[in-house]
Chain A
Amino acid sequence: MYFDSFADFIAMGGHAKYVWIAYGLAVLIFVINLISPIFKRKRVIAQQVRQLRREEIHASDS
């Protein structure tokens, strides 16, 4: 292990601000990339389930 203590690790030799901004931003970009297809998938499936139901009702009417 490179650092002597946890406080030392957080301080990053005086560069804490820069290092943690960079890593925090990376986490944010990763999360956005993961979440957006998950939400879009839910939206697309919900839309198609509705569509399919409408078609089934139509089919039983006629």
Chain B
Amino acid sequence: MWRWFHKLGSPKWFYAISGRWLPWVAVASILLLVVGTVWALLFAPADYQQGNSYRIIYIHVPAAFLAQSVYVMMAVAGAIGLIWKMKLADVMAKCCAPIGASFTFLALVTGAVWGKPTWGAWWVWDARLTSMLVLLFLYLGVVALQSAFTDRNQAARASALLSLVGLVNIPIIKYSVEWWNTLHQPASLTLTEKPAMPADMWVPLLIMVAGFYCFFTVVLLMRARVELLDRERRTGWVKDIIKAK
């Protein structure tokens, strides 16, 4: 276990192994996203109340899932970097931020576009919506902090602290629909209960969620690999890669 942990911390080893994983995850994500989208748009039945506008769920829910899990991952990676000074964890935390921000933005905007025909308003200052907006600002804060320092270790420390403090927002987002009276509907998918929709609606949703997670893995690995090439430019293994170009 510790051996493995040490190996994983080695940039050279990570660069090599991620290069081997990348094509497989990419293929999985393309397959899942194509099947999910076709099913969602062409084969899933319309909602009896919302008609076809509900098809936005297949973008909105996976994006919101990703927004929150990427945040948790960023905070955990930041904490590992703080405690064990693991370079790779710092790289991961840094690379999570812009991706997470983009998916939070997507969740917010698709929510607005879905809210207009359903609630009659693009935006309401509702607990769920407001806490998601706070999440977007947290991400943007981390992105800004990461580029605000010339020293990488300082940037990593400051961003890790901010992301750890911001972690309190995650349970607030999750329970916002239960704690406060909100317009937002409660969770569509939970681990404990059978979904309140027919399989033809939730199976494609699950496929889309899986597709979004795979896509995130692909772009995270791509970003982390570039970041490693940049940070490890003085090392022999990076020079060998550059010489081969």
For the complex, what is the distance from the CA of A14 to the CA of B51, rounded to whole Å?
Answer: 9
Q: Are B106 and A19 in contact (CB under 8 A)?
A: no
Q: Are B219 and A2 in contact (CB under 8 A)?
A: no
Contact among A18, A29, A34 with B114 in the assembled complex (CB-CB below 8 Å):
A18
For the complex, what is the distance from the CA of A31 to the CA of B45, rounded to whole Å?
Answer: 28
B243 — which chain A residues lie within 8 A by C-beta?
52
A62 — which chain B residues lie within 8 A by C-beta?
none
Closest chain A CB from B42 CB (angstroms): 6
Q: Are A22 and B238 in contact (CB under 8 A)?
A: no
Knowing A13-B52, A22-B110, A52-B243 touch, does A37 contact B226 (C-beta < 8 A)?
yes
Q: Are B233 and A51 in contact (CB under 8 A)?
A: yes
Is the CB of B63 closer than 8 A to any CB of chain A? yes
Q: Are A48 and B219 in contact (CB under 8 A)?
A: no
Q: How many B residues touch A, CB cutoff 8 Å? A: 42
A11's nearest neighbour on chain B, judged by CB, is B52
B113 — which chain A residues lie within 8 A by C-beta?
18, 21-22, 25
Closest chain A CB from B228 CB (angstroms): 10
Interface residues on chain A, size class = 20 to 34
Closest chain B CB from A42 CB (angstroms): 9
Stretch at the interface among B53-61, B148-156, B174-182: B53-61
Q: Are B116 and A33 in contact (CB under 8 A)?
A: no
Closest chain A CB from B93 CB (angstroms): 16
A29 — which chain B residues lie within 8 A by C-beta?
102-103, 105-106
For the complex, what is the distance from the CA of A23 to the CA of B18, rounded to whole Å?
Answer: 30
Q: A22-B109, A44-B229, A48-B238 are in contact. List 12 more A-B contacts (CB 8 A).
A: A3-B42, A9-B41, A15-B53, A18-B116, A22-B56, A25-B106, A25-B110, A25-B113, A29-B103, A37-B219, A48-B229, A52-B243
Q: Could you tell me which B residues sit within 8 Å of A by CB distance?
A: 37, 41-46, 51-53, 55-56, 59-60, 63, 98-99, 102-103, 105-106, 109-110, 113-114, 116-117, 215, 218-219, 222-223, 225-226, 229-230, 233, 238-239, 242-243, 245
Instruction: Supply 6 A–B pairs (Cβ within 8 Å), ascending by A.
Output: A3-B42, A9-B41, A15-B52, A22-B56, A25-B109, A29-B106
